[in-house]
Amino acid sequence: MNFELKIIDETKQGEAFAGAEKTENSKKLFLESYGCQMNFSDSEIVASILNREGYNTTLKPEEADLILLNTCSIREKAEQTVRKRLSQFKNLKSEKPNLTVGVLGCMAERLKTKFLEEEHLVDLVVGPDAYRDLPNLLKETEDGRDAINVLLSKEETYADINPVRLGGNGVTAFVTITRGCDNMCTFCVVPFTRGRERSRDPHSIIEECKNLWSIGYKEVTLLGQNVDSYLWYGGGAKKDFEKATEIQKATAVDFSQLLDFVATALPEMRIRFSTSNPQDMNVSVFEVMAKHKNICKYVHLPVQSGSDKILQRMNRQHTRSEYLDLIKKAKETVPDIAFSQDIIVGFCGETEEDHRDTLNLMKEVEYDYGYMFAYSERPGTPAHKKMKDDVPADVKQRRLAEVIALQGALSRKRMSSYVGKIHEILIEGESKKNKNQWKGRNSQNAVCVFDKTEGQKIGDTVSVFVHGNTQGTLLGRAE
C-alpha cells in the first residue's frame, strides 16, 4: 500500500489490491485504483458492495469475471494511463466473452457516455456517487446491455457501508469524512467529477474508527478533498447550510470539533487528516492538535503558488501573506509541527518572477515534503474556458525541476533536524530493502527504518533514537 497521503504518480501503473472476504463467494473482481487516496478509499467501499453480490477480489485480471478501474482525471497523463490499461484488456475480453469491464471514479464522471462511445471495451461506467447502484448496473450488463450511472449526489457519503480493507498493513487505515469540493479552484476538475461538498455523520465516523481499533488498527487518517471545511448539521450539501433549521445550526459539528471527538473517543489511536485547505483551516484546528498527544503533528497544506497574482488567477481564496501567517500561527501553537505542500508550476500567465515567489515561499515555510506538478489544462474547468495555457512545455519542465530540487534540499534539511532525538515510531511493516529492519513513521510523517529487536511486532509503537538520515528517510535504533 502506498502511504503517501496524496497523489500517487499517475505515470505509474495503477494498483490492485485484494482483501479478506466471504469464503462462499464464487465470482472474482479485479479492482485497480488510480489517483488520490480518496479513490483508494472508495475502492474499499466498492469491494464491500460487491462482496455482498458474491464477488471476492483477486490480484489476477485473467481470472476475473469483473474488471473495474477506479480512475483519476486530475491531469491528462492520468487519463492516458487508464486508456492504455484498458487496451491491455482487449485480449482477455476476446478470450472471455462474459468478462465485464467497467470504469469508475473521476474519469467515468468526466466522460460519461463518451466512454462507451470511445472505448468499445467498456461495458460499465459508474461515477463516484453511484456505487450503491452497482448491483443493478451489473444486472444490465449481464443482459448484454451497456450500463451507466454518473448521477452526482448532494447527500451520498456511504456512511453505513463498512469498507473491505484492501491490501493494507492492518495498522493504518483511511476513513472518509467529506466528499466533493465547493472551492472551484480554476485549474481543478474535482468539483465537476466529485460534485458538491457534503460531510459524513460524526457518529458513523467515530464508530468506524472504534471498529478499526477493535480489530487492531493503530492509526486512522480522516480523509476528504478539503477536511477543514467539514460541517455536519444533519442536512445534505454544505452550501445548503443556510437553509438549515435553528436547531441544526446550533448543534452543527465543524472539523476541529470532529477532530477533538475522535481524539477523545480513541485516546490510543494515532490520528492524521488530509487534505487541508488554507482558506478553510483556522487556529482552532491547531489548538486541538496541541491538546491531544495522539493527533500527529503533521499537516498537508497545499499552496499551489507563492505569487499573489497566480493565487488569484487560480481562485485560491487567500493571499501569500495569509498563508504564511497561518503557518506562523501553527508553528506557535504546535511547535514541532511539520508541513507538506502541493505546488503547480506553469499555470496560465506565470512569469519568472511569479515562479521565484513560489521558490522563496518554499524556503520560508521549509516543508518536510512536497508533491509538485506541471500545470495540465483540464477540459471544462474555468481556467480552460477563460485563460490561455501560455507557459511553454519546456519552461514548465524547467520550473518543475527547480521546485523539485529545492524541495529535495528542504526535505534533507528537515530530516536532519530530527537526528539526535528520540521519536515514537509506529511499526507499519518490514523495510523493503532489509528484512531485518522495521519501517514506520514518526508523528511528523517522516519514514524511519531501524533494526528489529526481539518481541517487537507490526502495530507496536517504539521509542527510536534517530542517528542519521537520507533525503526521505530517518535511520534509527530502538531505545
User: Of the two residues 16 and 448, which places its CB atom closer to ligand SF4 in the complex?
Assistant: 16
Minimum gap (Å) between residue 381 Cβ and ligand SF4: 11
Give the Cα separation of 20 and 130 in Å (integer). Answer: 24
Indicate the residue whose CB is closest to ligand 5AD. Answer: 342
Minimum gap (Å) between residue 304 Cβ and ligand 5AD: 6
User: Of the two residues 14 and 440, which places its CB atom closer to ligand SF4 in the complex?
Assistant: 14
Minimum gap (Å) between residue 447 Cβ and ligand 5AD: 21
Pick from 230, 232, 375, 450: which binds ligand 5AD (CB under 6 A)? 375
Residue 376 in the binding site for ligand 5AD (CB under 6 A): yes
Minimum gap (Å) between residue 36 Cβ and ligand SF4: 3
User: Of the two residues 154 and 398, which places its CB atom closer to ligand SF4 in the complex?
Assistant: 154
Minimum gap (Å) between residue 154 Cβ and ligand SF4: 17
Q: Which residues of 26-35 are buried (b: 16+ CB within 10 A; e: fewer)?
A: eebbbbbbbb
Minimum gap (Å) between residue 131 Cβ and ligand 5AD: 22
Minimum gap (Å) between residue 226 Cβ and ligand 5AD: 10
Among the listed ranges 127-135, 152-160, 373-381, 457-465, the one in contact with ligand 5AD (CB under 6 A) is 373-381
Minimum gap (Å) between residue 8 Cβ and ligand 5AD: 11
378 binds, among ligand SF4, ligand 5AD, none (CB under 5 to 8 A by kind): ligand 5AD
Pick from 131, 232, 273, 373: which binds ligand 5AD (CB under 6 A)? 373
Residue 342 in the binding site for ligand 5AD (CB under 6 A): yes
> Scanning residues 180 to 219, which ones bind ligand 5AD (CB under 6 A)?
187-188
Residue 304 in the binding site for ligand 5AD (CB under 6 A): yes
344 binds, among ligand 5AD, ligand SF4, none (CB under 5 to 8 A by kind): ligand 5AD
Q: Which residue has the cell 473521476?
A: 106
Minimum gap (Å) between residue 474 Cβ and ligand 5AD: 26
User: Of the two residues 82 and 266, which places its CB atom closer to ligand SF4 in the complex?
Assistant: 82
Residue 298 in the binding site for ligand 5AD (CB under 6 A): no
User: Of the two residues 7 and 446, which places its CB atom closer to ligand SF4 in the complex?
Assistant: 7
Pick from 378, 414, 423, 439: which binds ligand 5AD (CB under 6 A)? 378
Minimum gap (Å) between residue 71 Cβ and ligand SF4: 7
User: Of the two residues 8 and 359, which places its CB atom closer to ligand SF4 in the complex?
Assistant: 8
Give the Cα separation of 452 and 435 in Å (integer). Answer: 9
User: Of the two residues 38 and 338, which places its CB atom closer to ligand 5AD in the complex?
Assistant: 38
304 binds, among ligand 5AD, ligand SF4, none (CB under 5 to 8 A by kind): ligand 5AD
SS3 for the chain is: CCCCCCCCCCCCCCEECCCCCCCCCCEEEEEEECCCHHHHHHHHHHHHHHHCCCEEECCCHHHCCEEEEEECCCCHHHHHHHHHHHHHCHHHHHHCCCCEEEEEHHHHHHHCHHHHHHCCCCCEEECCCCHHHHHHHHHHHHCCCCEEECCCCCCCCCCCCCCCCCCCCCCEEEEECEECCCCCCCCCCHHHHHCCCEECCHHHHHHHHHHHHHCCCCEEEEECCCHHHCEECCCCEHHHHHHCCHHHHHCCEEHHHHHHHHHHHCCCCEEEEECCCCCCCCHHHHHHHHHCCCECCEEECCCECCCHHHHHHCCCCCCHHHHHHHHHHHHHHCCCCEEEEEEEECCCCCCHHHHHHHHHHHHHHCCCEEEEEECCCCCCCHHHHHCCCCCCHHHHHHHHHHHHHHHHHHHHHHHHHCCCCEEEEEEEEECCCCCCEEEEECCCCCEEEEECCCCCCCCCEEEEEEEEECCCEEEEEEC
User: Of the two residues 36 and 345, which places its CB atom closer to ligand SF4 in the complex?
Assistant: 36
Residue 7 in the binding site for ligand 5AD (CB under 6 A): yes
Rg of the Cα atoms in the chain: 22
Give the footprint of ligand SF4 on this chain (CB under 6 A). Answer: 7, 35-36, 38-39, 72-74, 105-106, 189-190, 193-194
Residue 115 in the binding site for ligand 5AD (CB under 6 A): no
Minimum gap (Å) between residue 378 Cβ and ligand SF4: 9
What is the sign, positive or negative, of the torsion defined by CA atoms of 471, 447, 424, 478?
negative
Measured at the alpha carbon of residue 269, what is the angle toward residues 263 and 272, in degrees to the nearest 5?
A: 70
User: Of the two residues 36 and 69, which places its CB atom closer to ligand SF4 in the complex?
Assistant: 36
Give the Cα separation of 74 and 86 in Å (integer). Answer: 18
**Angle in degrees, 0-180, between the axes of helices 283-291 and 255-265, rounded to the nearest 10:** 10
Residue 399 in the binding site for ligand 5AD (CB under 6 A): no
Residues that bind ligand 5AD (CB under 6 A): 7, 74-75, 187-188, 302, 304, 342, 344, 373, 375-376, 378
